[in-house]
Amino acid sequence: MTITKSEKIRKLIEDYTIITIGLAIFALSWTLFLIPAEITGGGVSGLAAVVYYSSKIPIGLTYFVINVFLVALAIKILGASFGIKTIYSMFMVTFFFSVFPKLFPGPLVDDTFMAVVLGGILGGVGLGIVFSRGGSTGGTDIIAMIINKYRNISPGRIIMYCDVIIISSSYFVFHSLEKMVYGFVEMWVVSYALDAFLSGANASAQMFIFSGKYHEIADYINDEMYRGVTIIDGTGWYTKDPVKILMTVVRKSETSDLFRKIKEIDPDAFISMGSVMGVYGKGFEKIKI
């Protein structure tokens, strides 16, 4: 199965378009909910928010300066091939942080807890969209990668430590335990929403397809969906006739298109579909153990 240059370009454009949408949603979570409620979240955006609350320096400017320093450090330590998508995300988030406050002035909700929950959910979904396409917002992710190169400490733990320090620092600005606790609640909501989104986005289905037109269906799965398919020889025990069984694994988000095409090719096809806990290999998750 060979992917042409035009298909690679189309995939690249699609990835960057979806990453941009995710970054816009992430920036909106701060602009619409967290900043008006003066809540500090994790990451470089949270640190930029603390600077904004204490000095009124635009959050976009602080976010950009900190990330430029971190990206330059990462290129020096991790190599020049350091993520292009991370650099792209840095510029786009800076742009959104600069534009959105002018487009959406004032708080969207007055209740602080509601702002924390909605901002956390929106931020988690935005990050989930970005991560699902291999993007990154940089920031504490970069710090984690640099430290992990020299010390055997998990990146997740490093990011958590950074977030705790950043959120705790808001106490020195507001002298309010309540706002600090709200910051930790926001961090938890973002983490939960991110995990929930990625679990849904990466959910996969294993399908067994019984059809006399198995050749056309297999060609569609292979050539149009760019998914692998295996043809298994079987015997229908009721009729004692030989049958061909197609077995394939696809993302759940792709199943509706496949069902539609199967119905178009063979309305009498018999299909069995089940959820799978994890799929590892080409086109799915990498084996990391």
CB 96 within 8 A of CB 162: no
Same domain assignment for residues 208 and 187: no
Is the same domain home to 265 and 154?
no
Q: What is the pLDDT of residue 221?
A: 93
Residue 269 forms part of a structural domain: yes
Can you give the C-alpha Rg of the chain in angstroms? 23
168 and 125 inside one domain: yes
Query: Is the pLDDT score of 230 beyond 80?
Result: yes
- Rounded to two decimals, the pTM is 0.71
Q: Where are the alpha helices (DSSP H) in 104-209?
A: 112-132, 140-150, 155-168, 171-174, 177-201
**What mean pLDDT comes out for the span 187-199?**
84
Residue 284 lies in a domain: no
Least confident residue range of 22-31, 56-65, 147-156: 147-156
The pLDDT confidence band at residue 113, using thresholds 50, 70 and 90, is very high
CATH code at position 219: 3.30.70.120
Above pLDDT 70, what percent of the chain?
A: 92
3-state SS class at 52: helix
Whether residue 47 contacts residue 166, with contact meaning beta carbons closer than 8 Å, is answered with: yes
The pLDDT value recorded for residue 147 is 81
pLDDT digits (tens, 9 = 90+) for 64-97: 999 888 888 888 887 765 678 788 888 999 999 9
Q: Is residue 138 part of a domain?
A: yes
Q: How many domains does the chain have?
A: 2
Same domain, 145 and 19: yes
Integer CA distances (angstroms), 125 to 12, 95, 183, 272, in order: 21, 19, 18, 31
Same domain, 227 and 84: no
Residue 111 covered by a domain:
yes
Q: Are residues 209 and 102 in the same domain?
A: no
Give the contacts of 132 (CB within 8 A, at least 6 positions apart): 18, 22, 197, 198, 201, 202
At residue 201 the predicted structure's pLDDT band, cuts being 50, 70 and 90, is low
At residue 1, does pLDDT exceed 50?
no
Do 180 and 133 share a structural domain? yes
> Of 170, 201, 232, which residue constitutes the final position of a domain?
201
Distance, C-alpha 241 to centroid of its chain:
47
Same domain, 110 and 189: yes
Q: Which residues pair with 236 in a beta bridge?
A: 241
